[in-house]
Structure 1
Amino acid sequence: MRKMLFVASALACTHGWGLAQTPVTAPAASVSAVPYHSAFEPVAKSEPAISAGVKPADWMQANADTGRNQRGHMDVLQWETEVEVGQSPAKLPALGGTPLWPEQAVKLALLKQPDLFTRVNMSAFERTQTQAGVLKLTRSVYRAWIEAVAARQSLAYLREVHEAAQTATELAERMTRVGNWSKAQLLREQLLRSDAATQVALAQQKAFSANENLVRLLGLWGADAQINLPQRLPDLPTSPLPATGLEDSAVRNRPELVLASINARLELTAVGEPELRRWQKATDQALEATPAAPTSPEQALATRPITAPLLDTQRLGLSHALEQAATAQIQAGALAVATRSQAREAYYRYRTAYDLARHQRDEVVPLNTTLHEETQLRYNGMLQSTWDLLASATTRIQSVNAAVQAQRDFWLADTDLQAVLAGAEISFADEPRNPGASSGANKGH
């Protein structure tokens, strides 16, 4: 039966819509080849990683519209007013033309998710489920967009490192041929070039995978899958969001919590508060009847609970309706506790990511830039070698790349925070990353 339904739905996709081609029926000639380029081939000079003329666009509005949650982020609002999108907000972008921003990406993704459109005759539960699905999709699209843009930006910097390593190796080969360098010194440079090529290959894979993840979320294929993204992530805001009102916003906008609260009130009305207090007293007594907890630190981890508390509802005359009311109250309270906790953790992660990104931008990158400038001055005065200059340039590029990773982590944390404030349920599976961990300086000569 399930197979028949699948076949019927496939036939509806290929014939019922009256489309000339679909991802299922398209001939192989209409699908572009995978644009793979080996990182171990001779290096071609790359384009600049950052274009000073690129303007960030409004990519925070979609989550605000979806969650009905005005966040008052002054930097984003300033950003929003400065951007010239060049099209009506109601229109979807022409793919391959102007850069695709997250707000537009969410609209594209929703076109392929008809189950996330609300209907007039929907029940409150169905609307809640739909709203939760929209919030989940919005967060996924935003995170995928951030990852894709950051991966492309990072790839550009790693290609610069590869070019520097290639230049150093070519110079080492010439010096070895004329007898000024040993074979061991040449091999070291070749190993550095090989490592740089490996990093580029891995970065290419990461950028391609991030792009394909975004393409899958948008439901694109063929020529439309060649989406045009901005060259760089938006800059950090001038100041972080304040911590006031976070929990209230998260609780107020959580659709499941609103529904659970309504259900808890209805259940309580059926039994009354005096009965609910009787239930609470019965559970307290059941807990007191359990074995006492250890009091000494030595026994705190040695003792394990072996029996569940006994609640004799028949003997105590506790009705099933009372049990349902108490359960509804507890579930609503637990959901509120979890929502408030997520808001606090999301904000703490947001502030940590902001401080790390600002530290990389305002401290680490300027220090490496100044060091490189000093090395260049000493090189011009014949006080340092060409190898010192190349190593300094590589270190500076790596520090800028680390700043990009920190910037990416901030916007991911910002997306998570805004999702929680809009009422979404998220999980914090990833540990905070050290943006400078993989950007160590090359050794000088």
Structure 2
Amino acid sequence: MMASTALLLLSGCASFSPDGGMSVVTATVSQDLGKNAAALRTSNEAAAARSTTARLLSKPLSADAAVQIALLNNRGLQAAYNELAIAEAQAVEGSLPPNPAISLSRIAGSVEVEVERKIVANVLALATLPVRSEIAAARFRQAQIVALSETLRVAADTRRAYYRAVSARELAGFLAQAQSGAETAAKFATRLGETGGMNKLDQAREQVFYADLTAQLATARQRAASEREALIRAMGLWGDDLAFRMGIALPPLPSRPQSLPGIETEAVRRHVDLQIGRIELDALAKSYGLTQATRFINVLDAGLTGKTFRDKATGEKARERGFDVELQVPIFDFGEVRVREAEATYMHAVNRLTERAVNVRSEARDAYRSYRSSYDIANHYQREVLPLRKIISDETLLRYNGMLIDVFSLLAEARQRIAATTAAIEARRDFWLATTNLNTAVMGGGVLGRGEAARAMSGASAEAPQH
């Protein structure tokens, strides 16, 4: 009977997957992002990733290329994949029955207590093995979703870093051109002042305009360097790889924005945080059932014991040594405390998951509104503001050359043109950031909202007997 039971349990044991549990990550990343994610666990895999990285860096870097490099080269992400492999090993271990143990010991006194203790412990471990195996499998599924969440987070952070870096570079390039023109105008004003052709007030206006642009350019270059370093960190690059080239301008706006009427439903269905929460609830339910099954056994432990007595035959003192087992029978507590605690823990996780679902719906709506608003603003600058500013700038320059307006009017228009162009670049940057945030709001890309439920699951599953 025991042999057949052991064979049945062994047949249900989990085994290691060929890809170390990466199937969920690779399938989702390939389908939704159009990229490849891989856990680099061999020298051949590392060499293949290095070859792909070198090929992508040999060309001007795009946002998609930056994301792909990060998915292959970011060491923090590889550490998350290592945690997934650890979780798989723990899941396989949790599905295994207790190892048979044979021990020989010499005890002064009866040995029945020790034998009884070992039999009961093995029976309990075997009886709870199916439930503990299901809990271990649920934890592994959770680890897979966590790895996917971390992958999406790295991809989103890299894409944001790319757009910020390119926009900072574009703005620095524009201000460099404006500063060059202002420098020429300032030098010309100085020469005119020396000949008496321009008064000191107009000279000072030209000089301060050039000085302001010089300060703005220095700030823009510093920001561009910092944003580039942020992109480098996201991609995990160092050494010779730092010489990569980026685009000089952000991509143009799409011809029309996306229309997503069912974004709330899509977010609730696909968001990784909610998938993790559902798995946690499943594990909590199994832990709750396990608590009910074993709630009448509170303590089952063995310890060394000794008792001194006087031998009736010899009259000498003697000491009996051996093991003593204490089994607390719940006369006053029939497991009601554990049942109530399990129910409260489960409902705590339910309410946390419900709260997260409500927040995900709200975040999806807000992300879509921000996406549409940023598109409309960027499109307005592109189609209305910048063309009008060019007309005004050209006409102002013609009037200045015809000596119909003074230099102050020309400088005022130049400042307004610079401000409008800067705002247009930032509006395009905000649109592409909003596009990334919209995708993140639907799919997820972090581990927010999981802490409370994860701690609850750990606390509830701790009630399971260990073999």
Do Structure 1 and Structure 2 share a fold, with TM-score over 0.5?
A: yes
| Deviations 1:97-148, CA, capped at 9 Å, x for gaps | 3111222222322323322435593711211221111111111100110011
The reply to whether residue 349 of structure 1 matches residue 366 of structure 2 is no
Distance 2:269 2:261 in 1: 14
Residue type matched to 2:198 in 1? W
| Deviations 1:409-442, CA, capped at 9 Å, x for gaps | 1111111111111222499xxxxxxxxxxxxxxx
Larger helix percent: 2
Q: Please name the residue that 1:112 is paired with.
A: 74
Task: Provide closer, same or farther for how the CA distance between residues 135 and 100 of structure 1 changes in structure 2, counting only shifts above 3 A.
Answer: same
Q: Please name the residue that 2:273 is paired with.
A: 256
* Partner SS for 2:264: helix
| Deviations 1:304-325, CA, capped at 9 Å, x for gaps | xxxxxxxxxx999982232123
Task: Provide closer, same or farther for how the CA distance between residues 149 and 65 of structure 1 changes in structure 2, counting only shifts above 3 A.
Answer: farther
Task: Provide closer, same or farther for how the CA distance between residues 96 and 332 of structure 1 changes in structure 2, counting only shifts above 3 A.
Answer: closer
Distance 1:191 1:63 in 2: 56
Distance 1:200 1:64 in 2: 45
Task: Provide closer, same or farther for how the CA distance between residues 222 and 91 of structure 1 changes in structure 2, counting only shifts above 3 A.
Answer: closer
Task: Provide closer, same or farther for how the CA distance between residues 200 and 350 of structure 1 changes in structure 2, counting only shifts above 3 A.
Answer: same
Larger strand percent: 2
Q: Please name the residue that 2:29 is paired with.
A: 66
Which structure has the larger Rg over C-alpha atoms? 2
The reply to whether residue 194 of structure 1 matches residue 211 of structure 2 is yes
Q: Please name the residue that 1:100 is paired with.
A: 61
Tell me if structure 2 keeps the 8 A contact 1:420–1:426: no
Q: Please name the residue that 2:48 is paired with.
A: none
- C-alpha displacement of 1:177: 0.6
* Partner SS for 2:188: helix
Task: Provide closer, same or farther for how the CA distance between residues 380 and 185 of structure 1 changes in structure 2, counting only shifts above 3 A.
Answer: closer
- C-alpha displacement of 1:381: 4.8
Residue type matched to 1:66 in 2? V
Q: Please name the residue that 1:231 is paired with.
A: 248
Q: Please name the residue that 1:423 is paired with.
A: 444
- Identity value in percent: 33
Tell me if structure 2 keeps the 8 A contact 1:128–1:255: yes
Q: Please name the residue that 1:180 is paired with.
A: 197
The CA RMSD measured in Å over matched residues stands at 3.3
The reply to whether residue 206 of structure 1 matches residue 227 of structure 2 is no
Distance 1:390 1:374 in 2: 13
Residue type matched to 1:418 in 2? N
Tell me if structure 2 keeps the 8 A contact 1:67–1:135: no
Task: Provide closer, same or farther for how the CA distance between residues 97 and 321 of structure 1 changes in structure 2, counting only shifts above 3 A.
Answer: closer
Distance 1:256 1:67 in 2: 19
Q: Please name the residue that 2:356 is paired with.
A: 335
Q: Please name the residue that 1:80 is paired with.
A: none
Distance 1:138 1:416 in 2: 11
Distance 1:347 1:354 in 2: 11
Distance 1:206 1:266 in 2: 47
Tell me if structure 1 keeps the 8 A contact 2:272–2:443: no
Residue type matched to 1:172 in 2? A
Gaps of 5+ in 2: 1-24, 35-50, 90-139, 290-334, 449-467
- Paired residues for 1:261-340 under 5 Å: 261-264=278-281, 267=284, 319-340=340-361
| Deviations 1:188-211, CA, capped at 9 Å, x for gaps | 221111111000100010001111
Task: Provide closer, same or farther for how the CA distance between residues 390 and 130 of structure 1 changes in structure 2, counting only shifts above 3 A.
Answer: same
Counterpart among 408, 423, 434 of residue 402 in structure 1: 423
Residue type matched to 2:444 in 1? G
Tell me if structure 2 keeps the 8 A contact 1:63–1:419: no
Residue type matched to 2:88 in 1? N
Q: Please name the residue that 2:182 is paired with.
A: 165
Distance 2:172 2:228 in 1: 13
Distance 1:65 1:377 in 2: 58
Distance 2:405 2:238 in 1: 53
Residue type matched to 1:254 in 2? H
Residue type matched to 2:206 in 1? E
Tell me if structure 2 keeps the 8 A contact 1:372–1:393: yes
Residue type matched to 1:333 in 2? T
The reply to whether residue 369 of structure 1 matches residue 386 of structure 2 is no
Gaps of 5+ in 1: 1-61, 72-89, 273-313, 428-445
Distance 1:189 1:134 in 2: 52
Residue type matched to 2:62 in 1? W
Q: Please name the residue that 2:156 is paired with.
A: 139
Tell me if structure 2 keeps the 8 A contact 1:63–1:422: no
Residue type matched to 1:164 in 2? G
TM score, norm. by length of structure 1: 0.62
TM score, norm. by length of structure 2: 0.59
Task: Provide closer, same or farther for how the CA distance between residues 317 and 389 of structure 1 changes in structure 2, counting only shifts above 3 A.
Answer: closer
Distance 1:150 1:193 in 2: 23
